[in-house]
Amino acid sequence: MKITYHGHSVVHVETEQASILIDPFITGNPLAKISANDVKADYILLTHGHGDHVGDTVELAKRHNATVIAPNELAVYLSWKGCNTHPMHIGGAREFEFGKVKFTQAFHGSAVVDEEGQNIIYTGMPAGILLTVEGKTIYHAGDTALFGDMKLLGELHSIDLAFLPIGDNFTMGPEDALLAAEWVKANKVIPMHYNTFPPIEQDPHQFVQQLKAKGIEGQVLESTESITL
């Protein structure tokens, strides 16, 4: 499978069976080098309801008749917007035609913020995602703080690739992400959720060097760069 990073937390997984987008914040993402018109989605997986993660979901889902897989309250909200949705929740797993999705804990928030109306719409608990396709497991941690049960994720699952936030301020910073990388025991770690906005500016290359010092394989993916699993 081909896995492409588009900056912030946008991950595109392409298999022989499906095109899967995780947190497709493309329009308005200063790190994205593509437009929403450049990608096709059969499935869209969402970690939580913040605008820098839901992003272009509604437009893409309608254009491609994609199924949006999200925590229940967020899935219900998006169904009201005309999206075809499949609701799930933390701890739940389900087999789809492309593979298996399991939602994990994430310690963060989740809401749609209506700036004009000064209204906040709660969209349930935030989550991380364990995506197993073609015999490989990808962990997308979503927006999260460090939490002790990351150890359980590493003990219970054989994780081939982990996307971990390092931006600090809103999520884990590099120090906590290093500990998370030790706990989840992924074969390779890719940093995400950094340098999109001034409050989350970090040096991903330094983070990868710190991973290597701990004997953990890491890789910086620049926007539009891909790897294969």
Instruction: Find out if CATH 3.60.15.10 is the number for domain 2-221.
Output: yes
Structural tokens at position 216 = 């953990």
pLDDT digit string, tens, across residues 146-170: 999 999 999 999 999 999 999 999 9
pTM summary value: 0.97
Helix (H, G, I), strand (E, B) or coil at 30: coil
Alpha helices in 65-173 (DSSP H): 72-80, 150-156
* 66 DSSP 8-state letter: P
pLDDT digit string, tens, across residues 33-91: 999 999 999 999 999 999 999 999 999 999 999 999 999 999 999 999 999 999 999 99
Contact indicator for 190, 163 with CB cutoff of 8 Å: yes
Contact indicator for 129, 22 with CB cutoff of 8 Å: yes
Q: How far apart are CA 15 and CA 142, in angstroms?
A: 21
* Extents of the domains making up the chain: 2-221
